[in-house]
Chains A and B, each alone.
Chain A
Amino acid sequence: MRVGLFVTCLVDLYRPVIGFAAIRLLEQAGCAVAVPEAQTCCGQPGYNSGDKASAQKLARQVIAAFDGFDYVVAPSGSCGGMIKTHYPELLADDPAWALRANALAAKTYELTQFLRDVLNWDAIAARFDGKVTYHDSCSSLRELKVKGQPRALLAKVDGLALAELPNGEPCCGFGGTFCVKFPDISNKMVEDKVANIAATGAATVLAADMGCLLNIAGKLKREGSQVQARHVAEVLAGMTDTPAIGEEG
């Protein structure tokens, strides 16, 4: 089974280990993984800022880059959701591309969703000692309806205890350009989120979206919290020897 990895721009730039963790998990699950060179960004910054033309251009670029794969997997609900739910809308007026957008949408998945729902795989071989909590990104939770999948996989990690995040449904306040356009509102949202994280007593917060993680880790560190933030793939793949997000090292 040929799987194309959509790395996502934030993972590419900020935290390559997540990409390698995703590859390891997919290979453990029996996939042949390739990373097309022509990918950059899914187009969300333009799409969400009203720059439809740029977003369409990028969508076509992604569609072309991932032609020929059986599946496309992204370690992000946000980028996965962009491809899966928004590309077809974005290119709806262009019949030839709409067809291709639909085809790509149908074979694109968020990482944990792909492992559980498509491969029905949970042979996790990883250890992570301690109590963690899990933040559902808005796009995973509401756009892709991903909730049980990461939890089912985390349950297979030796030594790991999951404490559910109280009031877990609200957004963390990242929202792409939202967090810099409306920094004070975003701050209130992330304040609430880290307070809830602290309330769980977990030493680590996990999520499947680098955007949320940058925001949450940045706030945790600003507040002097000892709680560490990591992408769920790092823990599932047993690649947690690198410093957590925003930590010294």
Chain B
Amino acid sequence: MQSTSHLFKDNVARALVDPNLQQALVHVRTKFIDKRQDAINALPEFEALRDAARDLKNHVLSRLDQYLVQFEENVARHGGQVHWAQTPAEARQTILEICRRANARTVTKGKTMVGEEIGINDHLAANGIEPIETDLGEYIIQLRGETPSHVIAPAVHLTKAQVEETFRKVHTELDPARNLEEPETLLNEARHRLRGRFIVADVGITGANFLIADSGTTTIVTNEGNGDLTQTLPRIHIVLAGIEKIVPSIKDAGLLLRVLARSATGQEMSAYTTFSTGPRRPGDLDGPDEFHVVLLDNGRSKLLGTEFEEMLRCIRCGACLNHCPIYHAVGGHAYGWVYAGPIGAITTPALIGIENATPLPEASSLCGRCESVCPVRIPIPKMLRHWREEAFERRLTGTCARWALALWAALATRPALYRLATGVGARVLRLLAGRRGRFATLPFASAWTKHRDLPAPQGRTFMAQYRSRK
């Protein structure tokens, strides 16, 4: 996927004045947060489970190679096939070859963020194969030519009215008199349309929430059941997953499931959790004839053993997005690439390069709410700082900011000089403010005074007063 992460500020400016987006984002800030809290209140073991989930993922990452090999052996043992892809191009090529071999004309898709990462839809379409998104939110944005703006709620940036408009525009045969105002009608419309597509699809592509090493099993979690139709109806099932999705055994998947849905939607469990092991077996009346797993690296392996390794614990629940004031303000598309929100702000620089995503780690007040809700306790603020350090070291930070920092450091590390400067500064500002106590505008402070007054200092600094009192 083409990135606009480097244009974050322009994206933000547009997002802040988009009335539909702003209206749609209200739902994120209320519903997700309250439901998650209720679910957690109902499970006293939740914090201990978070610790365990963190430890489990750390364990897996520390011996990722062994688990991947074990996974591969067990997939093969059940008649499936693992394909390795170091780059998006390799993954695209592998998938295209499988589809071509099957003479595939249409491919149904369950939700996969890795699919976005490698731009599989465009690639298939360019090669004459029609990709059909089946998750309701994904379906809607595919009709609109958009990308997901949220890891679990891809169409969260849209209002009901926009969805209705899209349906009418695309499905021109719809009776104009038909009332599509209720979400339920829209859902039924989509269900009806997609049912036909499911039945005729040649290949189904899904993502994976977990890959289970000791049985060669892949797991998807959905609420709609679209993933299950995607992988059960076509002749071929392709699972597309990042290499970090491995867990040792099904009971470890169980641990992560206990924190996943609660963190994501506030459900105890999502409606459907499906474990798939190999293709159809003798006597089965349904299920795919072929089972393929494409494992994508795309820069993940280079995070191992570094200060960024911990981000590979992510189980893509979306809780950090749901609790992020930046995400609440600008939505997901402003981040400019596949992954939005706090996890996007640390993942995007890792996968496409900090030089292509410098503003993302800067765009945080480091409030820490993301870390406080992360089910696998990824220290997101710490990683944002690491990226800022890397940007600073590589001189990617703005010149103005660097000068300001240098001036600050020069003063702050010389206490006597600092006293002098702050003493003068405080008094000058006090004088300038007069009796008013604050500034509505001030040269060099326009970024502050654009939206708020700047309170004036009281007068003499604390240190000056303290010294004279002594």
Q: Which residue of B lies closest to A38 (CB)?
A: B415
A30 at interface, CB cutoff 8 A: no
Contact mask for chain A residues 3-34; partner B; CB cutoff 8 A; 1 contact, 0 none: 00001010111111101100000000000000
The closest CB in chain A to the CB of B392 belongs to A50
Q: Report whether B466 and A249 are in contact in the complex, using a CB–CB cutoff of 8 Å.
A: no
Residues in A with CB closer than 8 Å to B438 are 217-218, 221, 246-247
B residues 412-433 in Cβ contact with A at 8 Å = 412-413, 415, 418, 422, 425-426
A16–B462 CB distance below 8 A: yes
- When chains A and B are docked, how far (Å) is the Cα of A17 from the Cα of B426? 14
Let me know if B447 is at the binding interface, CB within 8 A. yes
Q: Which of A115-123, A147-155, A179-187, A198-206 contacts B (4 or more CB under 8 A)?
A: A179-187
A238 interface residue (CB < 8 Å to B):
no
Overall SS of chain B's interface: helix
Contacts of A177 in B (CB 8 A): 401
A180 touches B447 (CB 8 A): yes
- Chain B residue at minimal CB-CB distance from A246: B455
| A222/B440 contact (C-beta < 8 A), A13-B422, A58-B412 known | yes
Residues of A near B325 (CB, < 8 A) are 170-171, 173, 185, 188-189, 192
Task: Tell me the bound Cα distance from A247 to B438 in angstroms.
Answer: 7
User: Known contacts A190-B452, A246-B453: does B366 contact A170 (CB below 8 Å)?
Assistant: no
Measured between C-beta atoms, what is the minimum distance from B286 to chain A in Å? 47
Q: How far is the CA of A221 from the CA of B392 in the complex (A)?
A: 35
Contacts A13-B426, A14-B457, A46-B409 given; indicate if A189 touches B329 (C-beta within 8 A): yes
Minimum CB–CB distance for A26 against chain B, Å: 14
Assess whether A245 is interfacial by the CB under 8 Å rule: yes
Among residues of B, the one whose C-beta sits closest to the C-beta of A184 is B16
List the B residue with the shortest CB-CB distance to A47: B385
Task: Output the least CB separation between B308 and chain A (Å).
Answer: 15
Chain B, 176-215, CB within 8 A of any chain A CB: none
CB-CB under 8 A from A245, the residues of chain B are 455
Write out the residue numbers on chain B whose beta carbons fall within 8 Å of the beta carbon of A9: 412, 422
Docked-complex contact B437 and A175, CB < 8 angstroms: no
Contact B458 A218 (CB under 8 A): no
Given contacts A11-B462, A50-B397, A54-B405, contact A186 B415 (CB under 8 A): no
Contact code string B355-378 (vs A, CB < 8 Å = 1, else 0): 000000011111111011000000
| Interface status of B155 (Cβ within 8 A of chain A) | no
How far does the alpha carbon of A15 sit from the alpha carbon of B382 in the complex, in Å? 30
Query: Min CB distance, B22 to chain A, in Å?
Result: 9
**Total residues of chain A contacting the partner, CB 8 A:** 71
Q: Are B412 and A40 in contact (CB under 8 A)?
A: yes
Does chain B have a CB within 8 A of A51?
Answer: yes
Q: A7-B463, A40-B418, A218-B438 are in contact. Are A138 and B369 (CB under 8 A)?
A: yes
With A12-B463, A218-B453 already in contact, the answer to whether A188 and B409 are too (CB < 8 A) is no
- Chain B min CB distance to A207 (Å): 13
B366 touches A178 (CB 8 A): yes
Contact with B along A224-237 (1 / 0, CB 8 A): 00000000000000
The reply to whether B363 and A182 contact each other, CB–CB distance below 8 Å, is yes
Residue of B363, B387, B461, B465 near A185 (CB, 8 A) is B363
A46 touches B405 (CB 8 A): yes
Q: Point out which of A15, A19, A181, A187 has the most chain B C-beta atoms below 10 A from its C-beta.
A: A181
- Whether B452 contacts A248 by the Cβ 8 Å rule is no
Residue of A nearest to B391 (CB): A50
A66 within 8 A of B: no
Nearest opposing residue in chain A for B408, CB measure: A45
Check if A124 is an interface residue, CB within 8 A of chain B.
no
Q: Which residues of A contact B144 (CB under 8 A)?
A: none
Instruction: Tell me which residues across on chain B come within 8 A of A35, comparing CB atoms.
Output: 463, 466
Q: Is the CB of B447 within 8 A of A142?
A: no
B251 touches A (CB below 8 Å):
no
Asked if A57 contacts B462 (CB within 8 A), the reply is no
* A162 is an interface residue with CB less than 8 A from chain B: no
Which residues between 430 and 468 of chain B lie within 8 Å of chain A, taking CB atoms? 435-438, 440, 445, 447-448, 450-458, 460-463, 465-467
| A45 touching B451, Cβ below 8 Å | no
Most A-side CB within 10 Å, residue of B328, B437, B456:
B437
Is A143 in contact with B462, judged by CB distance below 8 angstroms?
Answer: no
**A61 interface residue, CB < 8 Å from B?**
yes
In the docked arrangement, what's the CA distance between A244 and B392, Å?
Answer: 38
User: Are B409 and A182 within 8 A (Cβ)?
Assistant: no
Q: Give 6 closest A-B pairs by Cβ, nearest first.
A: A175-B365, A50-B392, A246-B455, A50-B388, A218-B452, A171-B367
Residues of A within 8 A of B (CB): 7, 9, 11-17, 19-20, 35, 37-41, 43, 45-52, 54, 57-58, 61, 89, 138-139, 142-143, 169-171, 173-190, 192, 214-215, 217-219, 221-222, 242-243, 245-249
7 A-B contact pairs sorted by A residue (CB < 8 Å): A49-B388, A50-B391, A181-B447, A182-B12, A183-B448, A219-B451, A246-B453
Excluding A142-B369, A185-B326, A188-B325, 19 further A-B contacts by CB distance (< 8 Å) are: A16-B466, A17-B458, A19-B462, A40-B415, A49-B401, A50-B388, A51-B389, A52-B389, A54-B412, A170-B328, A174-B365, A183-B448, A189-B365, A218-B448, A219-B451, A221-B452, A222-B440, A246-B456, A247-B437
